[in-house]
Structure 1
Amino acid sequence: MRKYVVIYRSVLMENLQYIGNIALGFVSYFIFIFVFINLWDYLYAEPGMRIAGYTKEQMIWYVMITEMIWFGSRSEAVVGQVTADIRGGNIAYLMNKPYHYTLYILARHTGEWCIRIPMYALFAAAIGLTMVGEIEGFGLLALLPSAISIVLGITINGIFKLCISLVSFWIEDVHPFQWMYDKLILIVGTVFPIEIFPAAMRPFMKLTPIYTVCYGPAKLVVDFHMEQYPEILSAQLLYLGVGTSLMFFLYGKGVKKLYVNGG
């Protein structure tokens, strides 16, 4: 475990040198949020109006939280590095290192978002409190469960993106699959909460990563209910276990393929 902590700390310190580059992403984030603030201002024509059970403030904060996760957790490690290592043959060297390659990548991924997420969280809070107002009913009781759920959501997302990258052992270009996964998460779970969609679709959506990556964490922030927390946490732990098992399975099969083909 110590070797992964060392990897995490080295990436963390490396990213601290590029705070300015991370802050440049605030421009895109602000533009996106500004557009949605005006969109929901238009849709919520009447004061006190609710759409799918959400007030205007809750709906805007929902988008702000999910976009914070989206912008803050983007990582080159689980996408670009894995694909480049496999396609370039560097994986043959790295898989013989005294650590598990996939855990090495996840440690790097964690070191990257541990800088980005707090920065985006502070920026989102500043925008929200200035342009939207406080979240009704949100208190210190909701802070820790929400933070835990956000961390789990980011980790699950990283694991599934890593799984897609590991398909590079068999398919030369996995970018179309990454694109489809990203757009599914972005359009279905990030921009709109599950309650917006038809009732027939909601049970199915709760069985997808959408529920655990973005909807669950954001729902706890904008409309926290302690009785809902075990349901979201259980789903996240289940997906964490399934995703991790799939990750090890794909990596094991890929490494075996390399050995069979002579590296």
Structure 2
Amino acid sequence: MAAQNPDMQTPSSDFSRAGVQSGVATQSQLPSPIQLPTGFFNNTLKLDESNYVLWKGQVLAALVGGGYEDFIYGTTQPPPLFLDDLSQVPNPDHKLWHRTDKSVMSFLFSSLSPEPLSQVVCCTSAHAVWESLKQRFESSSTTRVINLRTQMQQVKKEGKTMQQYINTVKMFADQLSAIGETVQYKDYIWYLLEGLPMEYDPIVTAVYSRPDQPSIEEIQNLLLNFDLRVEKRHVSDCVLPQVQLSSLTSNAGT
């Protein structure tokens, strides 16, 4: 049985999930409290500058699955403050609607890293939080794509191990994919090979000369194996003269 997140509680009720009529939710139409698996927030991807598309898909799946999409899309409005204008009796659904909206806000806040959270923490509704994040991350996607591609093109192996270099190239490719800009195979291979120093030209030539299309993983393994051979050769070149010098010194003393 799914465990209820303590941060997402709203008053318990047997409310059904009928559609919202005229944009105003009534007691029979408000969704039940959010039910999430134990440890959900421990495994939730936190929104940052690089993963908006992934974060959005994850959050939407949880909220739509729970029947809360009207709160983030702004298609539901709070019920009247009073049951009727004459009696001025407080409408319990009004308070319940706001508590449900706050619980959805709490859910959104819990899925944000500190920087985006600081920019929406003053929002007064779940819809306002959702729209603020949408405007920030979707409107800047074109500029971010250009910046990420430029940075990816400028990556060099200099000062990095081959694994570190491969991880750096992959990091930029993953960040582009996270905002909906998938890096094509030929582009990825070009980025990966163009940042290598001249000593890797034999591998670059071999890859470009192949009649088939080797997988990215195969090319990365070729680079790692070649790098290992280069490293061993450098070690041998350093150790051998030292051994010879030690031998000469020893012979001279006898």
**TM-score using structure 2 length:** 0.27
Give the greater-gyration-radius structure (CA): 2
Higher helix share: 1
Q: Which has the higher contact order (CA 8 A, sep 6+)?
A: 1
**TM-score using structure 1 length:** 0.26
